[in-house]
Amino acid sequence: MVRLQKFLADAGVASRRAGEQIILEGRVAVNGHVVRLLGSKVDPDHDQVAVDGKVVRPKKLIYAALNKPVGCVCSRKDELNRPTIYELLPREWETVQSVGRLDYNSEGLIFLTNDGQFALRLTHPRYGIRKKYLVTVEGEVTAATLELFKRGIFHEGEKLKALAARIVSGTRHKCVVELELGEGKNREVRRLFESQAITVKKLQRTQIGKIRLGELKPGKWRTLNAVEIKTLNTDL
Rounded to the nearest 10°, the torsion over CA 121, 122, 128, 133 is: 180
Instruction: Tell me whether strands 200-208 and 107-113 are parallel, antiparallel or unpaired.
Output: parallel
Residues 196 and 137 sit within 8 Å (Cβ to Cβ)? no
**For residue 232, which phi and psi values (nearest 5 degrees)?**
-65, -40
Tell me which of 43, 52, 78, 103 is the catalytic residue: 103
Instruction: Return d(Cα 7, Cα 99) in angstroms, integer.
Output: 21
Residues 18 and 3 sit within 8 Å (Cβ to Cβ)? no
**Is 103 one of the annotated active-site residues of the chain?**
yes
**For residue 97, which phi and psi values (nearest 5 degrees)?**
-135, 155
Instruction: Return d(Cα 158, Cα 47) in angstroms, integer.
Output: 48
Residues 188 and 152 sit within 8 Å (Cβ to Cβ)? no
DSSP state of 171: -
Mention every residue, 6+ apart, whose C-beta is less than 8 A from residue 16.
5, 6, 8, 9
How many residues belong to the chain?
Answer: 236
Give, rounded to a whole angstrom, the gap between the first and last alpha carbons of the chain: 21
The residues annotated with a catalytic role in the active site are: 103
